[in-house]
Structure 1
Amino acid sequence: MTEYGGESRVLNHSNHRSDVYEFTGDVRLKGNSGTIFIESMINSNIPHTIKPYARKYDAPGMEAISAIQIKATPSDKLPDCNKTLDIPAILFSTGGHTHNYFHSITDVMVPLFATSQRFNRDVIFLVINHDFSRFTSEHRKTLESLSRYEVVDIDRENRTLCFPNMIVGLIAHKYDLSIDPSPNSTLSTRNLTKLLRTTYSLKRESVSYHNRPRLLVVSRTNYRRLNNELELVELAQKLGFDSVLQDLGDHLELAAKIVNSFDVMVGVHGAGLTNMVFLPENALVIQIVPWGLGYIAKEMFGMNPQEMKLKYLEYRITANESSLLGKYPNHSQIYTDPFKYCDKIGPRACFRLFYINQDVNLDLHSFKNILLKAMQLMAA
């Protein structure tokens, strides 16, 4: 049994998106009690609890995340080790919003890459809140690319596991799909997309010029549907694209291969656009932004493509292109100032109105200009 003498060292990597603490020394995790013991005298700099999920600003979402207890304990009062591992560990939650594909990538997978890459696969992943999560099965291949060890479900572990180093929580960077590039390492959004293309054996690293760029229109079957998606495909075809309408479904590996085969991806703001991580470099993403969602759409999908070496265009619909048109009085703030209206009704009601209860009736005459610009970009 390996012993680690001396007090544990604590590093705080927290930011506005996540609480993250790194413990080095004698770190003991008492299985399904969700309690970590570190060898130390009581220290005010050590947190009492951590919820290891990269969405701490989202109070409703964080309610379902279990809290990990941290106890600074003198060496003679530490629980005995049932199993000692000579490798570092990262502990995180696969609960929260991970049933949603976008959040499984932004709240877990991207931060996990940012947190684990420095270990070069010599790290073990410990998960909580995994009972109803499909995260580890859906992202199995990527997890295997980041760690050479089996994932451990702590909620089902009744032993005390001991480590020389443990990170509790995941390091999340400023934007959902981005990683701040590090000058001293290979940590970057672009390297994440390279890893994903390798992981899923995707054939295309970058776009090569051809006369008819392949254009994918991502179909949505629930809310924020594009009501005239077939007409959009026909228009793109007439303008010189080889255009296809496709529902990407929930089979990750199949979706990755489909998306990688295209040069241009067009989609209404939503989880389907997350698949831009599988596009070849120099491909183009066109985001159709529903009424009232301009700022959040830009932040979620518009800030990242350049970091992935992708091109980006955005089309913000007018109120006349929203299915909300005609459902409220003409002078309603829903049409004149949706942001002020959201301040009035609150975030949950705003979400229901603009995210759930809205579809898009695209003005194809107006959108034609976006497609012509796309053709120019693909020829450049």
Structure 2
Amino acid sequence: MGEKITYDTFFARSFSRSDQRKLGYAAFLGCLLIALSFCLVFRPYSAAAPPSSVGLSNGVPTRMNIVCKSETRSDICEIHGEDIRIDAKFSTVFVSASSQEENSSVLIGPYCRKGDEIAMRRVKKWLVKPVVDANGIAIPGCNQSHNVPAILFSLGGYSGNNFHDFTDIIIPLYSTARVFNGEVKLLVTNSNPWWINKFRNLVQKLSNYEVIDIDNEANVHCFTTVVVGLKRAPQELSIDPLKSPYTMKDFRQFLRSAYSINKVTAIEIDDDNNVKTRPRLLIVARNRTRAFRNTDEIVRMASDLGYQVVVAEANGNIQRFAEIVNSCDVMMGVHGAGLTNMVFLPENAVLIQIIPIGGVEWPARVAFGEPSKDMNIRYLDYKIKTEESSLIQQYPVDHEVFNSPLSISKQGWLKFKEVYLDKQDVILDINRFKPTLQRALELLHR
């Protein structure tokens, strides 16, 4: 009250009564224009990231904050409030809000391959909807309340492919959930029990609670903190250290802990080649597509160079294959999802990617070559020649399959995949490939 009197007195002494009236009118119009300007400038952003405000839930004031971000590969909403209700019947996350925020709803496909129409067709969309009981819009009643945060994400898209399992789901889930130190509930949409069972070690390491298949829940689940979607770096198999407190080094340590694999560093060979055991080379076998047709020759040549050779194919037993990969110092394989198991290699190990013909150099580098840097894995690649491809047995040497891969790719992804990924096996030229294995040995030297 004293502050108001002081200001009134100042204006009364400085202006005549007529001037005060004119100033009052001018001030009123000025404030009106400023308010209008703020509305016009800031309204476009309100739907994407509503500010912290006071909402109503059954007449009780609550604090509510929704921050929604549109990233390169994913959309994510982080919601903090006293009344967040998840109703699977309507695929909606209801958030108690003030009347000003009631229309700022956001639709999210909680899977980290945004922009890929094929993947996103398999992802259920969820509506994040601020609502107000006081305005007559009923919020569904709570059937089950939780005292820990929740993360809602999808197992749709390309789940079931090892590469996409890690780059689209597991690494983003780690980036999003690790900060809660287990005290978080995982709500899965487009659930796949087989997937949950396959990666149970990782899921149980991230959450102290059973996974909730939210699509089949009749109950309305209520929380005070909910994250819809996952945090995903723009690069494949990566974590953005500028936006996350974690790194790929942290993630790889997390994997070693989850699967109880203890080899942290690859073998070191001194200049006199004095080692207690020979370096282990893993040849990742593929029995259906892009298989090595002369594995026995590769094994003999590698053994002659001083390697202890292991041949194994990745399968659904993650624990078993993680142990095999972690025990090795060098891993080689034809470009494909099986190389994703590089995440289990020890520090300073070597990855050798065999690149088939067909113009796949760029995706091969992006998928595995570039991510290897953040994993502290040395990377080599070997691009095969036409004579090393089984396609030479299917098409004449002057065919566009060899001379114009671009013309094949213009026929669409399915045609490209059929020719270069599904039909192509590899017959390595042993003499030509030998220097690559020798280079891997050099990288293992101290």
TM-score, structure 2 length as denominator? 0.80
- 1:182-241 superposed Cα distances (whole Å, 9 cap, x missing partner): 4872x1111101000011111211123253211110111111111112211111111111
Contact 1:182 1:188 in 2 (8 A): no
User: What is aligned with 1:250?
Assistant: 316
User: What is aligned with 2:377?
Assistant: 310
- 1:265-301 superposed Cα distances (whole Å, 9 cap, x missing partner): 1111112111111111111111111112111111111
Aligned equivalent of 1:205, options 264, 273, 278: 264
Determine if the alignment matches structure 1 residue 193 to structure 2 residue 252: yes
CA displacement at 1:12 relative to structure 2: 2.2
1:232-251 matches, within 5 Å, as 232-251=298-317
1:18-97 matches, within 5 Å, as 18-25=74-81, 26-40=83-97, 41=99, 43=101, 46-76=104-134, 77-97=138-158
Cα 1:348–1:46 shift into 2, 3 Å: farther
- Structure-2 separation of matches of 1:295 and 1:373: 22
CA displacement at 1:61 relative to structure 2: 1.9
1:1-380 matches, within 5 Å, as 5-6=61-62, 8-25=64-81, 26-40=83-97, 41=99, 43=101, 46-76=104-134, 77-130=138-191, 132-182=192-242, 185=245, 187-210=246-269, 211=275, 212-292=278-358, 293-338=360-405, 340-380=406-446
Cα 1:113–1:184 shift into 2, 3 Å: closer
Q: Which runs of 5+ in 1 are unaligned?
A: none
Contact 2:89 2:218 in 1 (8 A): yes
Cα 1:184–1:317 shift into 2, 3 Å: closer
CA displacement at 1:13 relative to structure 2: 3.0
Cα 1:133–1:96 shift into 2, 3 Å: farther
- Structure-2 separation of matches of 1:223 and 1:7: 55
Contact 1:81 1:160 in 2 (8 A): yes
Contact 1:10 1:46 in 2 (8 A): no
Q: What residue identity is the alignment partner of 2:429?
A: D
- Structure-1 separation of matches of 2:65 and 2:284: 48
How many residues of Structure 1 are paired with residues of Structure 2 in the alignment?
376
Cα 1:375–1:63 shift into 2, 3 Å: same
- Structure-1 separation of matches of 2:241 and 2:131: 37
Q: Which runs of 5+ in 2 are unaligned?
A: 1-56, 270-274
Q: Which has the larger radius of gyration?
A: 2
Cα 1:305–1:184 shift into 2, 3 Å: closer
The root-mean-square deviation of aligned C-alpha atoms, in Å, is 2.1
Q: What residue identity is the alignment partner of 1:304?
A: P
CA displacement at 1:8 relative to structure 2: 2.8
- 1:100-129 superposed Cα distances (whole Å, 9 cap, x missing partner): 222221211011011112222221110011
- Structure-1 separation of matches of 2:255 and 2:267: 20
- 1:2-37 superposed Cα distances (whole Å, 9 cap, x missing partner): 998435322123322112111221321013432111
TM-score, structure 1 length as denominator? 0.93
Contact 2:400 2:408 in 1 (8 A): no
- Structure-2 separation of matches of 1:128 and 1:351: 29
- Structure-2 separation of matches of 1:126 and 1:280: 32
CA displacement at 1:371 relative to structure 2: 0.6
